[in-house]
């Protein structure tokens, strides 16, 4: 408290009176003050000293308030012991140091804020010269809490100055992050706005995934380039945003304008702003960017167009342009549909007509499918009735999930009928003339024609492609025409159980493709202008609808067929064997083929003795004791029982058919045009009876034991 003398109070009173008076009165008071000062110089000196002291006090108080404000700007944000214990542990050079550092933290006080004493203790254990961070901790005593910014500066200084073994900084693009938890907090020290902080377990940059030790990153920085500390291979502490650039390769451009670019990366559409103008007319590019935006765009390689003629394990052949190896980052993009996407496999690229390849240094970086049309032969599939007893039908009805049409007659004078989605078109033999056909087509390539007059597995089956309905006498028959590859989608889904492994699916896709090709060559159904029927006498087709899995394996094996010496073989196959395969000559009385050898189907190649009836009977009765591939299949062992009368009836029926089909005599036409009995008896042979429309042995795949 400052005490003033009477004279000092008199001077201050004059000064205050002058402060509140108007200008005229102030002049009079000012004259009095001047006269008073001349007579009281000692008093004036003491008042001046008091004013100086008052100013010093005000400055001191102001500085204290500023220091408090600065601390508030630093957040009054503090790390707890649990916040920093992990990161401090990474500074340890050995297990002894790590153990001592961990002992600094009282398990009961992990939530307490760290203080100057803790930092000094850490320095002592690590052998750090405290002079290196003296200025950083200036003004903080032993028990003072240390704000986050101060600790961060201390930590960065220690890492920089001490060159701790194994620790380095890394700049990484956070395309995506794996995290289980997040919380609201101040994103960075000094930033007053709260944001969501994620506790990150792993980071993916679009090419690689990096393990992280629960680093804390603001969620808004996902999609940015960050800087972090790494020890050995573990990223363990977030530093901040990086000022470095990052380049991603082999991405598909999906759109752009003057402000931003859009591209496909790992089947995710990403948008980035352009930090400077950039344009390209190529599909696949390398993009360089920083946290301000894209800085450079360039093609991933030379763009080539053409047709791929061969696919190998590590390379492909393009037309006459040569062979190119796959780049380690090789990608296949499909832009032929409504949504661009990464394709699963390169195998079926052989089937596409219009492709764009990006090649650099004789390595193909990427392929773009621009047209979904496959280069695939068309197959005609004869459709059986519901129970597969015949393909003769008295009536056939169709509908479609989209608008469709059918035409009657030849292409020149065809009558076209438009049908709405869901409408049913029904045909009977008198709908059109003998040997005239009706052709049904969808207007949407993604829609399907459904036959409502038959069932497959208790539903009306739907089909790709188009249909032809033909009248022959008093009945109709229907042919589904579509590409071989699309046909196989419905074969693989119908023939192979869903629980079989992927490689089994692929193997059967190859077998089925080869079988279909051989049936097209052999023309067994040529009289119906078809190639094959849809029963399991050949390949069971569309009994179960195609699936994503069946489509994928057919696509992945595109063009692959079983062959020998460059020729497609007839791939005989069966559903289940008894544990032994036979050669083709054993079954079909043909010349033996090298790729159909008889083998035991045991995993360890056991060879049971089957040379006697007793040995064979033992193998049949005790087959489950052998390590056979098919041991769990329902028909690995089976039996059927006939009564004597049933056997007699079955044998008699066969004998009657053979007798009725035996040639007793042959009449020939002589020179006079008369039919006379042939002079020599001819050996009777089976004569093909008139086709009754049933799927019988004459159209058998030689795989009837399926």
How far apart are alpha carbons 218 and 291 in whole angstroms? Answer: 15
**682: pLDDT strictly greater than 60:** no
Pairing of strands 322-334, 363-369: parallel
Strand, coil or helix: what is 337? coil
Say if 144 falls within a structural domain: yes
Number of helices (H), then strands (E), belonging to the chain: the values are 13, 33
**Amino acid 59: pLDDT:** 55
Domain extent, residue 183, equals 169-241
Is residue 320 one of the residues assigned to a domain?
Answer: yes
Give the per-residue pLDDT at 702: 40
536 close to 704: Cβ distance less than 8 angstroms:
no
Mean pLDDT across the chain: 83
Q: What is the mean pLDDT of residues 257-277?
A: 89
Q: pLDDT, tens digit, for every residue of 128-166?
A: 888 888 889 888 988 899 999 999 999 999 998 877 888
**Contacting residues for 341 by C-beta, under 8 A, at least 6 apart:** 264, 267, 333, 334
The answer to whether residues 131 and 192 belong to one domain is: no
87 vs 167: CA distance, rounded Å: 11
Q: What is the pLDDT of residue 706?
A: 39
Number of domains in the chain: 6
623 domain-assigned? no
Judge whether 631 lies within some domain. Answer: no
Query: Residues 6 or more apart from 601 whose CB is under 8 A from it?
Result: 577, 579, 580, 581, 628, 629, 630
Q: Are 127 and 148 contained in the same domain?
A: yes
Q: Is 680 exposed, middle or buried (0-12, 13-18, 19+ CB in 10 A)?
A: exposed
Q: Say what the pTM is.
A: 0.56
pLDDT tops 60 at residue 177? yes
Which of 143, 165, 187 delimits the end of a domain? Answer: 165
Cα–Cα distance for residue pair 246/285, rounded to 1 Å: 14
Boundary of a domain, candidates 48, 73, 98: 73
Residues 519 and 546 in one domain: yes
Percent of the chain with pLDDT over 90: 44
For residues 523 and 530, give the distance between their C-alpha atoms in angstroms, rounded to a whole number: 8
The count of C-alpha atoms lying within 13 angstroms of the C-alpha of 19, restricted to the half-sphere facing its C-beta, is 6
Residue 588 has pLDDT above 70, yes or no: yes
Q: Which of 254-258, 328-332, 473-477, 541-545 has the highest mean pLDDT?
A: 541-545
SS3 track for 427-476 = ECHHHCCCCCEEEEEECCCCCCEEECCCCECCECCEECCEEEEEEECCEE
Q: Is the Cα dihedral 623, 628, 632, 636 positive or negative?
A: negative
In angstroms, the Cα distances linking 473 to 432, 433, 682 are 11, 10, 34
- Tokens at residue 609, please? 């003795």
Which among 703, 571, 573, 580 is positioned nearest to 637, based on CA atoms? 580
Mean pLDDT score, 259-269: 91
Mean pLDDT for 471-481 is 92
Phi, psi of 197 (to 5 degrees): -105, 130
Spatial contact of 300 and 366, defined as CB atoms under 8 Å apart: yes
* Angular region, 127: left φ>0, alpha ψ -120 to 50, beta rest: left
Q: Is the pLDDT of residue 280 over 50?
A: yes
Select from 140, 162, 160, 142 the least CA-distant residue to 150.
140
3-state secondary structure of 103: helix
DSSP secondary structure letter of residue 525: T
Instruction: Judge whether 580 lies within some domain.
Output: no
Query: Distance from CA of residue 629 to its chain's centroid?
Result: 32
Task: Please state, as a whole number, how many other Cβ atoms lie within 10 Å of the Cβ of residue 217.
Answer: 24
pLDDT at 1 over 60: no
DSSP label at 271? Answer: E
Same domain for 266 and 403, yes or no, is no
Total Cβ atoms within 10 A of residue 209 = 13
Output the pLDDT for position 191.
53
Is the model more confident about 618 or about 373? Answer: 618
> Looking at the structure, do residues 330 and 293 belong to the same domain, yes or no?
yes
Q: Is 43 helix (H, G, I), strand (E, B) or coil?
A: helix
Residues 196 and 211 in one domain: yes
For the beta sheet containing 209-218, the strands, ordered from the edge strand earlier in sequence to the opposite edge, are 167-173, 225-231, 234-241, 209-218, 194-204, 176-186
Angle at Cα 350 formed by Cα 347 and Cα 353, nearest 5°?
140
pLDDT tens string 565-576: 888 999 988 877
Tell me: do 396 and 498 sit in the same domain. yes
Polymer length in residues for the chain: 706
**Residue 436's pLDDT is what?**
74
Residue pair 463/449 in contact (Cβ under 8 Å)? The answer is yes
Direct distance between the N- and C-terminal alpha carbons of the chain, in angstroms, rounded to an integer = 112
How does pLDDT run across 212-237, given as a tens digit for each residue?
999 999 999 999 999 999 998 999 99
pLDDT single digits (tens) 68-109 = 444 444 445 889 998 899 999 999 999 999 999 999 998 888
> Are 174 and 154 contained in the same domain?
no
Is the same domain home to 339 and 236?
A: no
pLDDT computed for residue 15 by the predictor: 57
Q: Is residue 593 part of a domain?
A: no
Tell whether 233 and 132 lie within a shared domain. no
Residue 80 to residue 104: CA distance in whole angstroms: 13
Q: For residue 407, what are the CA distances in angstroms to 466, 468, 479?
A: 11, 10, 15
Question: Going by C-beta distance under 8 Å and a sequence separation of 6 or more, which residues neighbour residue 296?
Answer: 278, 287, 288
Alpha-carbon separation of residue 437 from 82, 454, 462, 533 (angstroms): 82, 20, 20, 18
Closest residue by Cα to residue 703 from 602, 593, 576: 576
Concatenated DSSP letters of 297-333: EEESSEEEEE-EEEE-SSEEEETTTEEEEEEEEEEEE
Q: Is 428 domain-assigned?
A: yes
Mean pLDDT over 179-198 rounds to: 73
Q: How far is CA 315 from the centre of its chain?
A: 23
Q: pLDDT-derived band of residue 484, with 50, 70 and 90 as boundaries?
A: very high
85, 87, 134, 151 from 120: Cα distances, Å:
14, 16, 10, 12
Residues contacting residue 442 through CB under 8 Å, at least 6 positions apart: 400, 402, 403, 404, 448, 449, 466
What is the 3 state secondary structure string of 586-610? HHHCCCCCCCCCCCECECCCCCCCC
Is residue 315 assigned to a domain? yes
What is the structure's pLDDT at 584? 87
Strands (E) in 488-636, as ranges, are: 532-533, 563-564, 567-568
Secondary structure, 3-state, 131-193: HHHCCCCCCCCCCCECEHHHHHHHHHHHHHHHCCCCEEEEEEECCEEEEEEEEEEECCCCCCC
pLDDT number for residue 152? 92
Of 397, 447, 406, 402, give the one whose Cα is nearest residue 424.
397
Rounded CA gap, 401 and 460, in Å? 13
3-state SS of 619-680?
A: HHHCHHHCCECCCCCCCCCCCCCCCHHHHHHHHHHHHHHHHHCCCCCCEEECCCCCEEECCC
Over the stretch 344-393, which tens digit does the pLDDT of each residue have?
766 667 777 778 999 999 899 999 988 877 777 899 999 999 999 999 99
Domain boundary among 335, 369, 403: 369
389 lies in the same domain as 409: yes
Same domain, 401 and 503: yes
């Amino acid at each position: 408290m400052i005490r003033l003398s009477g004279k000092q109070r008199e001077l201050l009173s004059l000064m205050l009176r002058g402060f509140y008076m108007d200008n005229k009165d102030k002049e009079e008071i000012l004259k009095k003050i001047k006269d008073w000062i001349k007579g009281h110089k000692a008093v004036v000196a003491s008042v001046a000293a008091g004013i100086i002291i008052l100013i010093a006090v005000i400055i001191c108080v102001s500085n204290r308030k500023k220091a408090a404000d600065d601390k508030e700007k630093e957040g009054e944000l503090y790390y707890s012991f649990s916040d920093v214990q992990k990161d401090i542990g990474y500074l340890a050079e050995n297990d002894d140091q790590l153990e001592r550092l961990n002992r600094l933290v009282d398990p009961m006080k992990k939530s307490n804020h760290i203080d100057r004493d803790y930092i000094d203790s850490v320095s002592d254990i690590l052998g750090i010269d405290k002079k290196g961070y003296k200025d950083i901790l200036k003004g903080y005593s032993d028990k003072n809490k240390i704000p986050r910014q101060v600790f961060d500066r201390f930590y960065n200084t220690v890492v920089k100055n001490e060159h701790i073994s194994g620790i380095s900084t890394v700049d990484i693009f956070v395309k995506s992050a794996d995290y289980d938890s997040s919380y609201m907090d101040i994103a960075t020290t000094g930033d007053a706005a709260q944001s969501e902080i994620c506790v990150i377990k792993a980071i993916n940059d679009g090419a690689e995934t990096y393990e992280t030790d629960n680093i804390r990153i603001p969620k808004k920085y996902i999609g940015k380039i960050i800087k972090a500390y790494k020890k050995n291979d573990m990223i363990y502490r977030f530093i901040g945003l990086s000022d470095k650039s990052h380049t991603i390769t082999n991405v598909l451009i999906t759109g752009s304008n003057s402000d931003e670019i859009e591209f496909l990366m790992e089947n995710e559409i990403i948008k980035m702003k352009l930090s400077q103008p950039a344009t390209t007319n190529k599909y696949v590019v390398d993009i360089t960017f920083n946290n301000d935006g894209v800085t450079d765009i360039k093609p991933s390689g030379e763009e080539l167009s053409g047709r791929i003629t061969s696919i190998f394990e590590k390379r492909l052949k393009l037309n006459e342009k040569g062979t190119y190896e796959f780049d380690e980052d090789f990608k296949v993009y499909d832009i032929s549909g409504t949504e661009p996407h990464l394709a699963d496999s390169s195998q079926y690229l052989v089937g596409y007509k219009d492709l764009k390849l990006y090649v650099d240094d004789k390595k193909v970086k990427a392929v773009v499918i621009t047209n979904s049309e496959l280069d695939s032969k068309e197959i005609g599939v004869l459709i059986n009735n519901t129970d597969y007893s015949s393909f003769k039908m008295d009536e056939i009805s169709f509908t479609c999930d989209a608008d469709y049409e059918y035409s009657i007659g030849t292409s020149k004078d065809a009558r076209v009928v438009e049908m709405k989605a869901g409408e049913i078109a029904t045909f009977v033999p008198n709908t059109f003339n003998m040997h005239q056909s009706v052709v049904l087509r969808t207007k949407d390539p993604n829609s399907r024609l459904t036959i409502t007059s038959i069932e497959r597995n208790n539903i009306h089956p739907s089909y790709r492609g188009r249909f032809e309905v033909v009248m022959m006498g008093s009945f109709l028959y229907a042919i589904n025409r579509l590409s071989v590859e699309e046909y196989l989608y419905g074969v693989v889904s119908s023939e192979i159980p869903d629980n079989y492994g992927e490689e089994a699916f692929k193997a059967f896709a190859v077998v089925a493709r080869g079988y279909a090709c051989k049936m097209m060559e052999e023309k067994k159904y040529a009289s119906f202008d078809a190639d094959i029927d849809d029963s399991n006498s050949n390949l069971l087709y569309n009994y179960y609808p195609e699936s994503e899995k069946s489509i994928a394996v057919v696509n992945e094996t595109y063009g692959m067929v079983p062959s020998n010496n460059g020729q497609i073989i007839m791939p005989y196959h069966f559903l289940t064997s008894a544990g032994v395969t036979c050669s083709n000559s054993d079954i079909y009385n043909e010349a033996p083929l090298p790729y159909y050898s008889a083998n035991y189907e045991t995993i360890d190649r056991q060879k049971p003795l089957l040379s006697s009836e007793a040995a064979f009977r033992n193998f049949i009765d005790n087959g489950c004791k052998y390590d056979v591939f098919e041991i769990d299949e329902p028909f690995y062992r089976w039996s059927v029982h006939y009564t004597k009368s049933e056997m007699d009836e079955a044998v008699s029926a066969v004998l009657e058919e053979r007798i009725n089909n035996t040639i007793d005599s042959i009449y020939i036409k002589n020179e006079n045009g008369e039919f006379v009995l042939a002079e020599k008896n001819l050996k009777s042979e089976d004569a093909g009876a008139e086709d009754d429309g049933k799927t019988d042995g004459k159209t058998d795949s030689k795989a009837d034991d399926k």
